Amino acid sequence: MSKANQGEQDLKRVLRTRDLVIFGLIFISPNSAQSLFGELTFSSGGHGVLSVFIGLIAMIFTAASYGKMASIVPKAGSTYSYVTHSLNSNLGFIAGWAILLDYLIFPMMIYKLSSTFALELFPFIPLWLMLLILIIPMTFFNYRGAKLTAHLNTIMLSVKLISVLLFVGFSVYALTNSGGIESLVNINGIYREDSFSMSAVIAGASIAVLAYIGFDGITALAEDAKVSGKTVGQAAMITCVISSLLIGIQVYFASVIQSQLGVLKHTDTAFYDIASAVGGGGLAAVTTVILIVTGTATALAGQASGSRVLFSMGRDGVLPAAFAYLHPKYKTPVYSVFLLSVLGYIGALIIPISVFFLIVVFGAIIGFIFVNTSVMIEFFIKRNERKGKHFITNFVSPLLGISVCLYILLGMETVGQIVGVCWMLVGGMVLVIKTQGFQKEISSLNIEQ
């Protein structure tokens, strides 16, 4: 591809560090604990906080690896671009294909969750119409470009934080009002002897990982950012840490309150019952409305990141070139955006929420393993950076990231593993066809060392 044509396929650099952190917090979502709480509690046997902690460990090491790769490969595509650069384009395709499963399923799941909560308040609206009400505006924002989306994200993040503060505030008031200040410290919020099982906690961790996935979405926007690749990586780390604190405290209080209420009535909308218990119907309605509105913003972030992965793979010729087409004015990959929007609508309409939870993490975990491996190959082996702190950052940290990711992957529900493996087999078949039986590499990125 000529330099001129390459320039025509460059995204518009408009995002600052603040925009990236806000984008990551929107994607990770401080109030994601509210939508994930029911399934997280059910899968972990009431040990949501422990599952969140294990998920955080995996993401801290992996976020560090994404940060290192972003510093040397400041390109859209994130996982795909990093693995192609440090390993080879065939493995890059497999890694990109894996992470695409996450970016395809995640917006579907969020739209489904938001619609499910919305139907609690508006049961007279059919699901197909509610999904259109949520998806069409978000697609418009992605169509118009990253700068407009950044403005929306700033507003949405403020609303999300209000929701978190409202729930935590009402929870503290309800607990202290009924049991005094000492009731705020309750072991049932973290550990329950009668239902503890490490396999259940790991199963819960595979869901908790959903709450952290947004950091890799930040690196997918590297070509939308004004700042350096290193700063993009730092934004990913900052996002991960801030989100873990906000998510953890909500899961803790919700778990304490749920232990007093007993068995969850409805897993999908469990948080609605928790909010009603501590703040009545008013708090339940307010947090639900916020969850619906801001949930669509999270789907917007997922759609934006996914479209950049499709764009990067299309630009490099490993997927149809149409995915790399940019709108002449807004410089957005419009066909990629529209495809994810249509697939998001269809998937959210026909796939149950419980199935989404079982399959969405598989692709992300595979991608994370590839990126951690890329750090070891690129820095520890190719660049021979092994002494002092480099031994920790270039070998120990990514190795721990790989180990925890494998632990979570093996602890996933069988359905998720089967669907994930089938997805990867399809990707392998595409790769075989593209490379004529591995006789050549699928593409070659021109990235300066």
The CATH number of residue 336's host domain is: 1.20.1740.10
Number of domains present in the structure of the chain: 1
How far from each other are the two terminal CA atoms of the chain, in whole angstroms?
Answer: 19
Residue 2, classified by CB atoms within 10 Å of its CB into exposed (0-12), middle (13-18) or buried (19+), is exposed
Place of tokens 């505030």: 169
Tell whether 447 is covered by a domain.
no
Query: Which residue type sits at 337?
Result: V
Contact 62, 191 (CB under 8 A): no
pLDDT tens digits, 88-118: 888 989 998 998 888 788 888 888 888 888 8
Tell whether 440 is covered by a domain.
no
0.95 exceeded by pTM: no
Contact 225, 69 (CB under 8 A): no
Tell whether 227 is covered by a domain.
yes
The pLDDT of residue 13: 57
Tell whether 296 is covered by a domain.
yes
Q: What is the DSSP letter of 76?
A: T
Cα dihedral 331→334→337→341 (10° resolution): 140
Q: DSSP 3-state assignment of 15?
A: strand
d(CA 2, CA 12): 19
Give the bridge partners for 225, in sequence order: 15
Q: What is the mean pLDDT of residues 34-46?
A: 81
User: Quick one: pLDDT band at residue 27, thresholds 50, 70, 90?
Assistant: low
User: Quick one: pLDDT band at residue 362, thresholds 50, 70, 90?
Assistant: confident
Residue 180, classified by CB atoms within 10 Å of its CB into exposed (0-12), middle (13-18) or buried (19+), is exposed
pLDDT tens digits, 278-327: 888 888 888 888 878 777 777 777 787 788 778 888 887 778 888 888 88
Question: Is the model's pLDDT at 374 over the cut of 60?
Answer: yes
Residue range(s) defining the domain that contains residue 49: 3-434
Question: Is the model's pLDDT at 14 over the cut of 70?
Answer: no
Tell whether 165 is covered by a domain.
yes
Tell whether 444 is covered by a domain.
no
User: Quick one: pLDDT band at residue 1, thresholds 50, 70, 90?
Assistant: very low
Helical ranges in 3-145 per DSSP H: 3-8, 17-28, 32-44, 48-72, 79-86, 89-121, 127-144
Tell whether 448 is covered by a domain.
no
Tell whether 215 is covered by a domain.
yes
pLDDT tens digits, 137-149: 888 887 886 666 6
Residue 57 CA: distances (Å) to CA of 305, 316, 417: 23, 33, 21
The pLDDT of residue 55: 79
User: Quick one: pLDDT band at residue 221, thresholds 50, 70, 90?
Assistant: low
The pLDDT of residue 178: 83
The pLDDT of residue 236: 74
